[in-house]
Amino acid sequence: MKNEENTQFLGEEKIGKLLLKFSIPCILSLLISSLYNIVDQIFIGNSDLGYLGNAATGIVYPITIIAVAFAWCFGDGAAAYLSLCQGRKDTENAHKSIGNSILVTFIISILFLILGFMFKEPLLYLFGASSKSIHLASEYYVIILAAIPIYMLGNSMNAVIRADGSPKFSMLATALGAIINIILDPIFIFIFHWGIQGAAYATVIGQILSLIVSIIYYTQSKTFRLCKESFKINFHLLKNVLKLGISTFITQMSIVIISLVCNMMLAQYGARSSYGSDIPIAVIGIVMKVFSIVINIVVGLILGAQPILGYNYGAKNLDRVKETFKKVLTFSFIIGVISVFIFELTPEIIIKIFGSNEKLYMEFAVLTFRLFLLLVPLTCVIKMVSIFFQAVGQPFKSAVVSLARDIVFFVPLVLILPRYLGIQGVLLASPIADFLGIIVTAVLVRNFFKNMANEDTLEKEDVVLKPSKEGVIITISRMHGSQGKAIGELVAKTLKIPCYYKEVAALVAKESGISSLFISKIDQSQDAMHELYLTTSPVKYAIEAQEKVIKMIADKGSCVLVGRAADYVLREYKNVVRIFIYAPVDYRIQRVSEMYHDSIASSKKYVEKSDKNRANYYELISGKTFGNPSNYDLCIDSSIGKEKTAEIICDYIKKIQEK
């Protein structure tokens, strides 16, 4: 009942009020994270270390991003899998997936630590160290790397805490680490005179505190309990976790690629300029972390809008989706415009916060703020749209928007432009990439809303629950092209009971307000990231509503339910007969080819894709393998003909009823 009230609230409350409710906590949490990253550079820049100290932290920064990419991959993957387990009340796989993720994250962190020490100097030089900065970079790197298992475990565990329904506790863990870092930085740097090592120690102690808080939470978590069995490697679970976390990994690694290429080109062309190689490296690190504050405000805003977008997109409340999109887009653009005014008109004020009044340093810093961040409003919109697509169940479009700007455009530009424009070419690569990226973004957004407006839905009032009688509930799972729907209808006709197929989607639409077309497609999505699609907000809302309706149908009396993982949804019902219908692949391809008047090659691809999507859907809903005979009471090859298959099923049902 509580869930229904929440979803109704998302569909009816004023958008502005909803955004305030959901976005402000997200923004605050991300700003704390930004503060964590930026505080070291403020204290280091104002110490005797100056810009060389900031250059050193900038050199090490991409290496920590690689570490967090792995941590978030398994952390976010485990968090998404936990959400699925919560939906199907699967406590067994929930704790095992989390334990496995922690174990693998720890193993990777140890390998990362070993390789990091083995290749310390080559890595530091690769990320832009010079003869002047290598000593400071090495001192900072050694301490940060030694604590990398703590850093990775803390980040991985934090994602699961959010998924467990405790975002405030997650924020607390991060905030306490940031606060202790802020307190210890000036003590270690200015009072103890530990220099850059002091900044590293302060960071590590903050990370230790965050990890301790996370561990404390795990002892009292809401939906899972870890035990010895949790840490026994299960490759099947890890595969699912990896599928769900790979998008985060790709996003983070794109940041690494950008940082690596940018640092390399700044060091190379900086050395040929009057600035040298260290000033550009120091400045770009500061600029990127200042910019992260702006981006995190935008990200917090759109993350807060995700539940609003997810529910209303599933319900096909097009006007509310558009209104939410327009509001978030407007706010994001305004945030970008305000930022660019500050960056263009008063960059010196920002730069002085980070110390060092050296003339060339100030000159390059001003130039970087004004050129590199010239089109910040477009960057904000691109990032916002990328997360918007995630919220409405379009992870592939989300990846295209993000990678188009960062990898397809920025990386080639930053490699090519400096050849003709010198070091300024590195800085101009960013606004040009923003301009090209916004074109791709605009095309995808336009097509998305155009396609959404053209989608038709079944009329909610046209379908009702059909009268029935006491008896068995027959669920039919089927491979694509095996005639499962037609066989289900024949069985229902013979037994004189109702059959539900597309009617389920229409009933869900009537009961929940979610679009029947959207519901009918959740196990058929052709998205290249189908696993991620199934964990997005609108799909989760639809699945919850669908399960409620399937149980409502079963409570009405004997019937046939085709598809929709109904066999699993009704797992607690004792009067359910679970049927799986299959057929040789060549037979199914031939049938699909004849049905749709398509070529054999095209039909083959369609059958393979459809089977894969149904299997993914079933596995993520149930945690079981689609088509595994142990999940069903009867498995039958329908290539013997639909009439004969239906006859066998009816005979089987009659024998059960006679017992």
Query: 452-458: long-range contacts (C-beta < 8 A, 24 or more apart)?
Result: 452/313, 452/316, 452/318, 452/321, 453/318, 455/316, 455/515, 455/517, 456/517, 457/316, 457/509, 457/515, 457/516, 457/517, 457/518, 458/502, 458/505, 458/506, 458/509, 458/516, 458/517
- The SS3 of residue 333 is helix
Token pair recorded at residue 482: 């095996």
pLDDT band at 10 (very low <50, low <70, confident <90, very high): low
Mean pLDDT confidence for 393-397: 77
Exposure string over 189-209, b if 16+ CB within 10 A, otherwise e: beeeebbbbbbbbbbbbbbbb
The Cα angle at residue 142 between residues 141 and 144, in degrees rounded to 5: 65
More confidently predicted of 519 and 444: 444
**Residue 486 CB neighbours (<10 A):** 17
Amino acid at 265: M
More confidently predicted of 512 and 458: 512
Q: Decide: 371 and 431 in contact? Cβ < 8 Å.
A: yes
More confidently predicted of 542 and 521: 542
What does the DSSP assignment read for 388-448?
A: HHHHTT-HHHHHHHHHIIIIIIIHHHHHHTHHHHTHHHHHHHHHHHHHHHHHHHHHHHHHH
Highest mean pLDDT pick, 157-166, 230-239, 505-514, 516-525: 230-239
559-562: strand order across its sheet: 499-500, 559-562, 473-478, 576-582, 634-637
Q: Decide: 79 and 161 in contact? Cβ < 8 Å.
A: no
Backbone angles phi, psi at 501, to 5 degrees: -135, -90
Sign of CA dihedral 441, 445, 451, 452: positive
Q: Decide: 91 and 221 in contact? Cβ < 8 Å.
A: no
- How far is the CA of 182 from the CAs of 117, 206, 353, in angstroms? 28, 9, 15
Q: pLDDT tens digits for 580-598?
A: 999 999 998 888 888 878 8
Q: pLDDT tens digits for 253-292?
A: 888 888 889 988 998 999 899 999 899 998 998 898 899 8
Compute the half-sphere exposure of residue 573: CA atoms within 13 Å on the CB side of its CA.
Answer: 23
pLDDT of residue 257: 87
| Lowest mean pLDDT segment, chosen from 2-11, 172-181, 412-421, 528-537 | 2-11
pLDDT band at 532 (very low <50, low <70, confident <90, very high): low
Cα distance between residue 388 and residue 593, in whole Å: 37
* pLDDT of 111 above 90: yes
